[in-house]
Amino acid sequence: MILPKVVTFTGPDDSVDAGELIALSKDYPNTEWGILFGAKDSGSGRFPSLDWLDSEIPLLEAEGLNLTAHLCGKWVYELVLFGDFTWLHYYGDKITRAFQRVQLNFHGQKYPPAAKTFLDRIGEEPYQFIFQDDTVNGHLPGPLGTDKRVRLFDVSHGAGTLPEGDGNPWPKRTTKEYMGYAGGLGPQNISTQLKLIEQAAAPSKYGPYWIDMETKVRSGGDSLFDLSKCRSVCKQVWG
């Protein structure tokens, strides 16, 4: 079996500290932490507070952890429609420089055709950009298959539901574009679903893939990010 290149755990919040994330990453270096950013949601639910970002992100950067900024709402809207990366200005270099990748979360809302300045801006930034393939925004990324633009298949929109369909519901990859898979994954099903994802991703033919999970690595009625669940996933994936 060809394992994913990266396993992304999305949603570390104020209930965890940098030391816990660092410890798990040292045990499993191919973990990636997806930090959620929403202009109206800071400090609530899955979105860490400004105080947490200010104190913990520099510690994660210093240890060289794999970090992805998952942008939501206003930050995505202003980038796609106007090429205005206000996320950078709002949070500042102390926080934003720590990330290697930026994911645009569309949450099933259909966006109009992107402004040219949007694609131009992507070319200017050091990040790899992840576009959600949510069945309604396939027109946005432009040419994929490059180091700067990659695709994450995710039709759950953060609801933690597996894709539906007969047989293998995960979409088959047909190009060497680096592709991720998300939606409904967690410790209770990763062993079974990873086999199906590997079949769909065909890494022996098309190269590496990654997986991402969010809802099912939370506890307390969705109120807490659960590192024990993350560790369980890592053990099942990598042993």
42-87 confidence digits (pLDDT tens):
767 799 999 999 999 999 999 999 999 999 999 998 888 888 889 9
Whether pLDDT at 122 is above 70? yes
- Count of residues in the chain: 239
Whole-number mean pLDDT of the chain?
90
SS3 104: strand
pLDDT the model gives residue 38: 92
So where are the chain's domains? 6-238
pLDDT-derived band at 109 (thresholds 50, 70, 90) equals confident
Q: What CATH number matches the domain at 6-238, 3.40.50.1100, 3.20.20.70, 3.50.50.60, 2.70.70.10? A: 3.20.20.70
Q: Which residues pair with 152 in a beta bridge?
A: 132, 180
Over residues 160-178, the mean pLDDT reads 87
pLDDT the model gives residue 110: 77
User: In this structure, which amino acid lies at residue 145?
Assistant: G
pLDDT the model gives residue 146: 61
**Cα separation, 111 vs 173, whole angstroms:** 24
- Helices and strands, counts by H and E, the chain: 9, 10
Nearest to 67 by CA among 105, 37, 102, 41: 102
Q: Are 228 and 24 contacting, i.e. CB atoms less than 8 angstroms apart?
A: no
pLDDT the model gives residue 67: 98
Highest mean pLDDT among 31-45, 73-87, 143-157, 219-233: 219-233
Q: Are 37 and 72 contacting, i.e. CB atoms less than 8 angstroms apart?
A: yes
SS3 38: strand
pLDDT of 174-184, one tens digit each?
988 899 999 99
Nearest to 16 by CA among 228, 230, 225: 225
Q: Which residues pair with 181 in a beta bridge?
A: 153, 211
When mean pLDDT is compared across 38-42, 186-190, 211-215, 225-229, the lowest value belongs to 38-42
SS3 8: strand
pLDDT the model gives residue 37: 96
* Residue 4, CA atoms < 13 Å, CB-side half-sphere: 30
SS3 185: coil
